Amino acid sequence: MFLFKRVFFAIMTLVLLASCEEDFLLTRPDFKPSVVVNCIFKDGKPWMVNLSYSRDILTTGSEINPITNAEVSVIEKSNGREIILKHINGGQYVSEIYPPQPDRTYELVVSVPGYDIVKAFSNAPKKANVVNIISDVVDKNITKVNFEIKDNISNYYIWNFISSNTKNPIDSSFNGNPKDLVSGINKYNNISGYLNGLSNTNDNDANSSGGVFTSNVSTVNPNDNEIENQGTTEVTKRYLRLLTASKDLYNYYKTVEKFASADNHNSSFSYTPEIYSNIQNGLGIFAGYTEEFKEIK
């Protein structure tokens, strides 16, 4: 009798386990790509806007495709002037007339067939008023640099220090690509300033109306030895590179920095920071800045 009960319960357990198994087909809505805008603008430089469709990361082999049939314009809000951008290739839209001017607000308007109108607003602030740059040699490898910014309004600043000689001149090229701007700043590996919490303590709202700032700068340039070995006596010049950024560009830069430093983007157990976007009905960034170089004596 005891053996019969054991066999009976074993059979019932197998039946219950089998009854709990059910196949599910995972379905999701058809993927419709979003319009992606990549545009940073700088005072005096041509308008350059790159448009593409977002790709489906759940589909193997999906690609980022350029948008070549859009209507793109920039409107200067102070006077209503409309600047029409023309497509040249690969989703790049350009205009060399009426380039951005400092301290003016611009509206980007993008019309893509089958999509709602894409819009964004931003400005390129006036250049910062940098005065009293003083450098003190700490040792043969480090120089302490003090500089003062005198502005009457709150601005957003990003700065670093670069070196230049005939073999490695200052890179002043501009292509309107925010990714290249970020990598162009980070390649010097000496970012000193985001003005974290000078006026307040919010990491994404770190602005300042000026002040005195101090940074330690490495004076070791790997290209100096190469020039010395060539028998020249050229002195490498060093510069403070200061970007006065719109709040949009500042927030974009900070979130890209956090995204790049995060680990395991593809892990379900990790947190991937969201990259800042100010694009209505789309993704990406539309933001302005001004830039200047001050030689460190």
pLDDT of residue 214: 81
Q: What is the pTM of this model?
A: 0.79
pLDDT, tens only, 73-116: 999 999 999 999 999 999 999 999 999 999 999 999 999 999 99
- Mean pLDDT for the chain? 80
Q: pLDDT > 70: what percent of the chain?
A: 74
Alpha carbon distances (Å) from 151 to 17, 154, 191? 73, 7, 22
Residue 282 has pLDDT above 90, yes or no: yes
Give the range with max mean pLDDT: 6-10, 196-200, 270-274.
270-274
Class of domain 35-123 as given by CATH: mainly beta
- DSSP calls for the chain: -HHHHHHHHHHHHHHHHHHT--------PPP-PPEEEEEEEETTSPEEEEEEEPP-TTSTT----B--S-EEEEEETTTTEEEEEEEEETTEEEE-SS---TT-EEEEEEE-TTSPPEEEEEE-PPPP-EEEEEEEE-SSSEEEEEEEEEEEEEEEEEEEEEEE-SSS---------HHHHHHHHHTTS---B--TTSS-S-TTS--EEEEEEEEEEE---HHHHHHHHTT--PPPEEEEEEEEE-HHHHHHHHHHHHHHH-S-TT-TTS-PPPPP---BTSEEEEEEEEEEEEEE-
Domain boundaries, the chain: 35-123, 130-274+290-296
Region of poorest pLDDT, from 37-51, 177-191, 228-242, 244-258? 228-242
